[in-house]
Amino acid sequence: MDVCEYSARFPATADGIRAARHYAVAVAVLSPRRHDIQLVAGELALSAVRGSADGEFTLTAARHRFRGWLRMEASHTTGTWSGGDDAELAYSYGLMIVDSLASRWGSDGARDADRPSAGTATIWAELS
């Protein structure tokens, strides 16, 4: 199989974000973009931590062995965002980092204002 997928669960804490960054680098150990992968993984993890309702998040990384691309996903059970508009603005700069380093990125199952506990949300990024 040319695509290998790895997944791990982390606590929704600063230590969990740090561990997720290291995990992503370990998955992509031979990639020349290890530093970019570490930054993107940290920002995806932070996004998952901010919205986690159950105190955990999952980082999944799929990499193609020969083509050199990596897709990372950070998923969490959605909770209610407790920050105000200022807090949302302060945290949104991390997605600028993701946008500048990733080939593509997006989210699935994002928080809906009418349903703050809508299930699982995933933010993802692809690097090639």
Tens digit of pLDDT for each residue in 46-94? 988 887 878 899 999 998 877 778 899 999 887 654 444 554 445 557 8
pLDDT digits (tens, 9 = 90+) for 6-22: 999 999 999 999 999 99
Question: Taking all residues of the chain, what is their mean pLDDT, rounded to a whole number?
Answer: 82
Instruction: Kindly state the greatest CA–CA separation across the chain.
Output: 46
- What CATH number does residue 40 fall under? 3.30.565.10
Q: What is the band of 116 on the pLDDT scale with cuts at 50, 70, 90? A: low
Structure tokens at 119: 């299930």
- What are residue 4's DSSP bridge partners? 63
Residue 122's domain spans which residues? Answer: 3-127
Q: Which amino acid is at 117?
A: S
Pairing of strands 56-64, 104-108: unpaired
Total domains in the chain come to: 1
pLDDT the model gives residue 6: 92
Burial 64-84 (b: 16+ CB within 10 A, else e): eeeeeebbbbbbbbbbeeeee
Number of C-alpha atoms within 13 angstroms, CB side, residue 21?
13
